[in-house]
Amino acid sequence: MSEPLLKVTGLRKHFTVRKGLARQASVVKAVDGLDFTLERGKTLGLVGESGCGKSTTGKLLMRLLEPTAGSIALDGRDVASLRKDELQSFRRRVQMVFQNPASSLNPRMTVGSAIAAPLAAQKITPPEGVKKRVQSLMDRVGLRPEHANRFPHEFSGGQRQRIGIARALALEPDVVICDEPVSALDVSVQAQVVNLLKDIQDELGISYIFIAHDLAVVRHMADDVAVMYLGKIMEHGSRDQIFGDPQHPYTRSLLSAVPSVELGAGSKDRIRLQGDLPSPANPPSGCVFRTRCPAYALLPEEKRLLCRDEIPTGSVACHHPDAPLLEIPAAATTLV
């Protein structure tokens, strides 16, 4: 078997934050031991609750952050030890669509120049071809030619998001980390962009890390899915397995919380997670999900003990994957 395009081993990122008048330090374990691989031309979906470390993972892969521990290899080559010339090519091969498109665009640069900038810097496209290439990229993400002369603040939220996508695709990279790339788009434009990402994948064999909280979109895009909780992967499997036969109680609760357009479906038959998400500065010992786990609540005492041990590694990080889940009526858990 050939080498995976991207191989991540034991990846960790801990932030030290200082707070209060005394500036006491505490450590936020944003990413806490990730292992996964990404094959050429494939898409890995990364899902999980807000703050579980998805964007941090993306930024680590982009080398925008230095890992606290662990390694990232592209084509078998550890990216931490790249020489300067290799770094230049790494910067072309790995691109990111940022979660916050507004902050990743220079406010004083027209959008046309922003998309052209990486093309010019990498000198792959001849200068006279750049303008044409920019126009064709803008067209493919559904922006109009006259938009090239405008500044980022003159766009709608969804238009800015598409500018970010056009820019990431400009250099025909090998890997694109898409951090919530379609979250600000209405369903029709979203469908257009999802189709575009898939077409480009077919044409160029690009691989995607696809971060999204919209599980229906992930199901459309991803070949494999990793479900994260507090910086760790809870369950990792093929799309069909994760959506068709989820094992981990966390995956099962996530899937049941999706709002539905089926009128009358209401919120009654959803499993809502109880309690607060623990702080990543002070995660529970043993299984990190245990404090909110809808299966733990029903487990007999002797089985609970096991949950205090480190979670098993493998595709399902759970001691009791097939335990029944406690169903909590929505009203009982509302916050107010």
Partner 1 sequence: MTSFLSVKDLHVEFPTDDGLVSAVNGMDLSLERGETVGLVGESGSGKSVTTQAIMGLFKDSKARVSGTIDFEGTDLISLSENRMREYRGKKIGMIFQDPLSAMHPFYTVGEQIAEAYRVHNQVSKKAAKEVAVDMLGRVGIPAARSRADSYPHEFSGGMRQRAMIAMALVCEPELLIADEPTTALDVTVQAQILDLISGLQQETNSAVIFVTHDLGVVAELCQRVVVMYGGQCVEQAPVRTIFREPGHPYTRGLMASMPALSDETGRLKPIPGSPPALLDLPKGCLFAERCEVAKLLPEGLCREERPLLRIHGDHEVRCHAHERGLLAVGGPSAAGNMKGESADV
Ligand X SMILES: Nc1ncnc2c1ncn2[C@@H]1O[C@H](COP(=O)(O)OP(=O)(O)OP(=O)(O)O)[C@@H](O)[C@H]1O
Residues within the interface to ligand X (CB under 6 A): 15, 17, 28, 30, 50-56, 99, 153-159, 184, 186, 280
Q: Which is nearer to ligand X, 98 or 119 (CB)?
A: 98
Query: Contact between 336 and partner 1 (CB under 8 A)?
Result: yes
Strands 77-78 and 175-179, how do they pair?
Answer: unpaired
Binding residue for partner 1, selected from 78, 258, 313, 327, defined by CB under 8 A: 258
CA-CA-CA-CA dihedral for 78, 79, 83, 84, to nearest 10: 170
No. of helices (H) and no. of strands (E), the chain: 11, 10
In the complex, least distance from residue 275 CB atom to partner 1, rounded to whole angstroms:
10
Identify whether the C-beta of residue 173 lies closer than 8 Å to the C-beta of residue 133: no
Smallest distance from Mg ion to CB 122, Å: 27
d(CA 4, CA 227): 20
Residues 6+ apart with CB under 8 A from 224: 42, 43, 44, 45, 236, 237, 238, 239
Binding site for Mg ion (CB under 5 A): 55, 99, 156-157
Give yes or no for residue 194 binding partner 1 (CB under 8 A): yes
Question: Minimum CB separation from ligand X for residue 52, in Å?
Answer: 4
Indicate the helix (H) or strand (E) that contains 176: strand 175-179
Give which of ligand X, Mg ion, partner 1, none residue 89 binds (C-beta under 5 to 8 Å, depending on kind).
none
Query: Which of 31, 60, 116, 273 contacts partner 1 by CB under 8 A?
Result: 273
Residue 215 binding result from ligand X, Mg ion, partner 1, none, given CB thresholds of 5 to 8 Å by partner type = partner 1
- The answer to whether residue 144 forms part of the interface with partner 1 (CB under 8 A) is yes
* Helical packing angle, 157-169 and 127-140, nearest 10°: 130
Task: List alpha helices for the chain, DSSP H.
Answer: 54-61, 84-93, 111-122, 127-140, 157-169, 187-204, 215-221, 239-244, 249-256, 301-306, 330-333
CB of 104 to partner 1, least distance (A): 10
CA distance 75 to 2: 10
> Is 26 a binder of partner 1 (CB under 8 A)?
yes
Which listed residue (83, 103, 126, 332) binds partner 1 by CB under 8 A? 103
**Token code pair at residue 51:** 């703050």
Per-residue interface string for the shown chain with partner 1, residues 205-244, x marking contact by CB under 8 A? --------xxxxx-xx------------------x---x-
**What gap in Å lies between CA 179 and CA 327, rounded to an integer?**
31
Helix (H, G, I), strand (E, B) or coil at 26: strand
Member of 254, 287, 295, 316 binding partner 1 (CB under 8 A): 254
Would you count residue 37 as binding partner 1 (CB under 8 A)?
no
Nearer to partner 1, 74 or 234 (CB): 234
Shortest separation between residue 255's beta carbon and partner 1, angstroms: 8
